[in-house]
Structure 1
């Protein structure tokens, strides 16, 4: 089977950093990138790069922040028009930056069928502002919460939990109760969700390893709200499980391939952070047929190297068997693999 035949069997999702992001969040697994508006026509040119190979393409003009452009209504319609035999989805994502600045934005979200919007907190005001990278972010999140609920869209609060903010997250939970968010959402037939987690230890969040929450230090009040708590392990337990494991940790795409495309046209899989060892190629400088081959055959440095080292070797080299930091096992495997890739590719 040739490359075109293999590609034709896959669904393709293109997510492109066309406009940037107003925030510089310390948890961002993608990593920080400079904001740069891509040139007019870049969207159609990018889709045309893949159109001869893939029969079904979903196009998204954002990678980090949805609707971070003034003509977001037209932009959404253009994303739909550029997609091929598929329609992009809204998910539960929106720009809280725009919610509090544009009175027409929340009505637009309702028009396109958004039922809930995720809002990300890191504690109370000072801590959230610091982790988002913008003064005023916490107050904007609260204002966005009220505006969404007033328009029949359920806010969904996610909180990132670290050692330094664990007590603040308890206070944040209390604040959600004081604001009667569950009752307000029930009033229009929806559900308010509050959940906590650490996120994956890659991208900017990798830099938070030193303040990573210890499992034993997770406040009892937060355990019912911890996403996947029943499968949460300590780093020590992860190391024990992986000791002597002869398997390789190699990511693969299924029926759907999701590509992350930077504002300079570098292309990555949606596996982990966007670093050079995970780079597939560049749409402007690489041969197009060769780049498509790498996409379809998953032929990139990171995946090739991942097949040459076992999980047991990764744990022995990079794991900390004395640590009680909290991880889900697959996230920990990613952390170990990225440590290894940084060493061998440096």
Structure 2
């Protein structure tokens, strides 16, 4: 792992948790126990002290009060102000909002538009039964439709993300018809944009590794409508949306290029703090082999040192286990299940390897 050379990093606290237990979530099924505002003040002060006491290039902090469901707590406006107070610069906002809150709070969409951005992504896994199954929550599909309406009423643009599993296959034409019935293309155009919808398979990390049985094969996706395929190509900017495990394994083994260090530091480096004070970086999952330490037991300096020194199992495997070796141990040269790219497949193998090695302890 290269040394952290960023002037600004982020610190995110899981203050409120999440209403969902999504089957693809790389963050896992965390507790909704929550943290108090005083906890966030204390956690930020620990990082500020580290910056002041050490010769680190880090000079600024971004602060977030969530990393699972944004704006889930009823005091979401107050927490936005807290992020602004404690962080350097404006709070980070993404094209993600609380779909749960959009369906329940009539004032939320207008507020979200005022702080930006003007688009929100909504995830579906099919129609009602499949989507509720995917979220592990009854009513999730209905919430997604209600959220779509609330966004449009506020002049915001919804974008639909479809998760491609075998649960979606019998529903895909129904979803496309629903887009037409709701006149989403026309209505998004009326608020000043183009309706976007795309489809991809869930990443096979953490919770996603547990639903590999629902990953479709190349044969099963042969009949997918060209409309959603083309929309997905345009969204991702590539013609080939997926390849089989067999093909990707062969490419990895046949690649004669020198071994490269996998997955460099993310463009925006964040440290994620769970409600039990365990600390992770946004370079892996929240499985135990990625844990850098605990805020109540370890200094920030020691956790940064573990991060930079690859001193946890997840980082050791990520940066020091060769792709070829992973394929030889975990790959199936005959498997026709589809993956977005080599990175997705190698994430699956790394997760399997870390889980196996961790359970030996």
TM-score (norm 2): 0.88
Is the Cα–Cα contact under 8 Å of residues 7 and 296 in structure 1 kept in the other structure? yes
Greater displacement, 223-232 / 10-19: 223-232
- The partner residue of 2:27 within 6, 12, 30 is 30
How do 1:83-98 and structure 2 match up within 5 A? 83-84=87-88, 86-98=89-101
1:212-240 CA distance string (max 9 Å, x none): 02233221333213345525211001110
Is the Cα–Cα contact under 8 Å of residues 159 and 195 in structure 1 kept in the other structure? yes
Q: CA deviation at 1:115?
A: 0.5
Aligned partner of 1:147 in structure 2 is 150
Q: Alignment partner of 2:19: what SS?
A: coil
**Structure 1: gaps of 5 or more residues:** none
**Matched residues in 1 for 2:167 and 2:329: separation?**
28
Q: CA deviation at 1:171?
A: 1.6
Is the Cα–Cα contact under 8 Å of residues 63 and 260 in structure 1 kept in the other structure? yes
**Structure 2: gaps of 5 or more residues:** 52-57
Q: Alignment partner of 2:283: what SS?
A: coil
> Does residue 340 of structure 1 match 2:346?
no
Aligned partner of 1:174 in structure 2 is 177
- The partner residue of 1:45 within 21, 38, 42 is 42
1:187-208 CA distance string (max 9 Å, x none): 1212211111112101111111
CA RMSD in angstroms, aligned pairs only:
2.0
**Matched residues in 2 for 1:180 and 1:264: separation?**
45
Alpha-carbon spacing, 1:140–1:62, altered in 2? closer, same or farther (3 Å): same
Aligned partner of 1:237 in structure 2 is 247
How do 1:127-138 and structure 2 match up within 5 A? 127-138=130-141
Q: CA deviation at 1:23?
A: 0.8
Q: CA deviation at 1:186?
A: 0.8
**Matched residues in 2 for 1:326 and 1:206: separation?**
14
- The partner residue of 1:285 within 297, 310, 324 is 297
How do 1:1-346 and structure 2 match up within 5 A? 9-52=6-49, 53=51, 54-84=58-88, 86-218=89-221, 219-221=224-226, 222-226=228-232, 227=236, 228=238, 230=240, 232-243=242-253, 247=259, 250-253=262-265, 256-327=268-339, 328-346=341-359
Is the Cα–Cα contact under 8 Å of residues 10 and 257 in structure 1 kept in the other structure? no
Alpha-carbon spacing, 1:319–1:262, altered in 2? closer, same or farther (3 Å): same
Is the Cα–Cα contact under 8 Å of residues 223 and 229 in structure 1 kept in the other structure? no
Q: CA deviation at 1:299?
A: 3.4
Is the Cα–Cα contact under 8 Å of residues 317 and 350 in structure 2 kept in the other structure? no
Q: CA deviation at 1:307?
A: 4.2
